Amino acid sequence: MRRVLSNGSFLRFYLLLGVALLVVFVIALAGRSFIEQVRREDYREQLAALPMSLMTTQLADLPVEQRSGLLDRFSEQLELQLTLQPISDADLGYFERSRLEQGKILVAERPWLLQQRLPGDTWLLQARLDDWSEHQWHGSIALLGDWLAAVPENQRDSRIDELRQGSWPLQLSSTLPEGLTAQQQRQLASGSVITQLVSDKLSITLLYQLPGESQWLQAGPITRGDTLPPNLHLPLLVGLMIVLSLIIYLIMRSIEARMARLELAATRIASGRLETRVKVESGDFLGRLGMAFNGMANQVQSLLRGQQEMIRAVSHELRTPVARIRFAVQMVEDMTDQPAIRRQLQGIDADIAELDELVDEILTYARLGGETVNGAELETALVECRAMAERVIDTLSPLHKGLTLTLSAGPEIELLAEPRYLQRALQNLVGNACRHAKSQVVIQLWDEPNLVRIDVEDDGPGIPPEARADIFKPFARLDDSRARSSGGYGLGLSIVQKIMAGHGGSVTIDTSPSLGGARFTLLVPRRDPPV
């Protein structure tokens, strides 16, 4: 079983999700039980609200020495054990005292113990009974009716409003309620309390006729109170959603973190850091994916290293025969005075120089494509950009006497970079512009907040938009011609791109807005000096 779990990320995810749902289910049951307990306590308090409020209100209206007689009357009529004592003498906790101070009723079940403070007084009324019965209900309504009958009719509604009705909604009616049998009407006329039951709702209504009055007191309907109020079950649902969301987030976070590490490793390898590897933490699906990723990186690194070593070896091996051919050509040239033969020998010597230059370009490209440049930091130094551009112009001007090479005016700009490589990149761009320009090549330097921008523009034919993505590929040319007049080997711009990648920058191409030809742009980010 452990092996199955260790080899299946998604199986483990679903099992964890099942455990999360089980936890949420247990929390839901516990929350439901808690809410039911709160609901039952609230129902008991609402049930006891009317009789307790009626007794405490009447007791509070009497002086202390007259309360014992009324207390005995309540005990006899409601069959309750009633006691009245100072609230300071009661054995109560902090929260119980706080509830009493707020006018709440304390209810303890089996046996029932009801406690409420007299309004505006420091006395506490306690009522004890074994269980609720019809007698307490009828007695409470009869007491209320007698209390209302003792006041003028226009003050009875305000008296009702003073009471806490709880589960006993009260109303006075001047007409006899409908649906009463003749026997129930006789019971009302005789001063009895009758009970009506609505069977479809299981609700109870109590009716009582005020003594000597043509008014009827109705209490109810009193329902069972089985439904959960929204203020209880809504927080439960919200809490369950929050808990479930948090558990799912924690499960997904571990998977997402491992996928993020794979993404980071792929990004680093794509940027040339072929030594990057993924940390394998387990043998599940993602662990096997990490091992396959590391194997792929090893293979790519090995192939690239072998390719670079072969290029370097071939390039170095070419130098020896090229040097021997050049030496032989020079010896033949020294041995003859015929003009035709010397012209042919000079052409061979130019071809040898071109081949030697091509070998240098290949070696440079191989060195820039290696891990020492793309995978490691360059050895940087402070470069004066204007001085570097002037050195490039001084180097290339004698080779292109028919062109005007200029450096636009601007401020002095210093940049932390690898001096030799950065100058090589600029020299390649200027040399490329000189080969295609008609009369003018311009270099411009821009000092921006986070980078240095170097533009090389010419007045040549430019580069078509559809060909701009291919000119940075090794040995790519705009045409298939390999004539000496066109110049170049197709590696110069590739070398520029490699140098910019090593500096964390880029090279772009568009159309020169002032000269109409091509405009190459070097974007070199600024670096903080080493500590």
pLDDT digits 0-9 by tens, 266-292 = 888 876 677 888 888 777 777 788 888
- Give the count of beta carbons closer than 10 Å to the beta carbon of residue 114: 23
pTM: 0.44
The β-bridge partners of 113 are: 108, 128
What domains sit in the chain, N to C, each tagged with a CATH number?
270-376 (1.10.287.130), 378-525 (3.30.565.10)
CB 379 within 8 A of CB 418: yes
Confidence at 445, pLDDT banded by 50, 70, 90: very high
Q: What mean pLDDT is predicted for residues 142-155?
A: 84
Number of helices (H), then strands (E), in the chain = 14, 15
Cα separation, 85 vs 372, whole angstroms: 93
How far lies 58's CA from each of 77, 82, 155, 252, 399, in Å? 15, 14, 15, 64, 119
- Give the count of beta carbons closer than 10 Å to the beta carbon of residue 21: 13
Query: Pairing mode, if any, of strands 451-458 and 170-173?
Result: unpaired
Confidence at 481, pLDDT banded by 50, 70, 90: very low
pLDDT of the residue at 485: 46
**What is the full DSSP assignment across 41-72?**
HHHHHHHHHHHHHHHHHHHHTS-GGGHHHHHH
pLDDT of the residue at 11: 66
Q: Among 80-89, 187-196, 342-351, 442-451, which stretch is predicted with the lowest mean pLDDT?
A: 342-351
Q: What mean pLDDT is predicted for residues 205-223?
A: 81
* Rounded (10°) CA dihedral 329, 335, 341, 346: 40
How far lies 86's CA from each of 101, 121, 125, 182, 198, in Å? 13, 9, 9, 48, 42
Cα separation, 100 vs 103, whole angstroms: 5
Own/partner pairs, 298-301, CB within 8 angstroms, 24+ separation: 300/269, 300/274, 301/274, 301/275, 301/371
Cα separation, 365 vs 370, whole angstroms: 9
pLDDT of the residue at 371: 44
Cα separation, 499 vs 243, whole angstroms: 53
Q: Among 69-83, 115-129, 303-317, which stretch is predicted with the lowest mean pLDDT?
A: 303-317
Q: What is the largest CA-CA distance in the chain?
A: 157
pLDDT of the residue at 47: 79
Q: What mean pLDDT is predicted for residues 501-529?
A: 86
Terminal CA-CA length for the chain: 54
pLDDT of the residue at 458: 92
Tell me 153's DSSP state. Answer: G
- Whether the pLDDT of residue 27 is over 50: the answer is yes
pLDDT of the residue at 191: 82
